[in-house]
Homo-oligomer: A and B are copies of this chain.
Amino acid sequence: MTSTALITPADGLLRAGVHDELRRRFVTGKVMPGTLLSTRSLAQELGVSQMPVREAVSRLAAEGAVEIRSKRRIVVPAMTEGRFRDLLRCRELLEPEAAAAAVKHIDAARLKRLRVVDDALGVALKSGDVEAYMERNFEFHFLIYRAQPRPTMTQLIETLWLQFGPYMRVVYGRFGTSGLVDQHQLAIKAISDGSATRLKRAILADIRDGMGLIGKSGFAPGA
Contact = CB atoms under 8 A, between A and B. Distances in A.
Given A54-B55, A93-B93, A83 B150 contact: yes
The binding surface of chain A is classed by DSSP as helix
A90 B64 CA distance: 19
A220 interface: no
Interface in A71-102: 82-83, 85-87, 89-90, 93-94, 97, 101
A85 B150 contact: yes
A181 to B, nearest CB: 27
B153 A90 contact: yes
Given A59-B62, A93-B94, A87 B54 contact: no
A13 to B, nearest CB: 8
Interface of A: 15, 19, 54-55, 58-59, 62-64, 82-83, 85-87, 89-90, 93-94, 97, 101, 149-153, 155-156, 159-160, 163
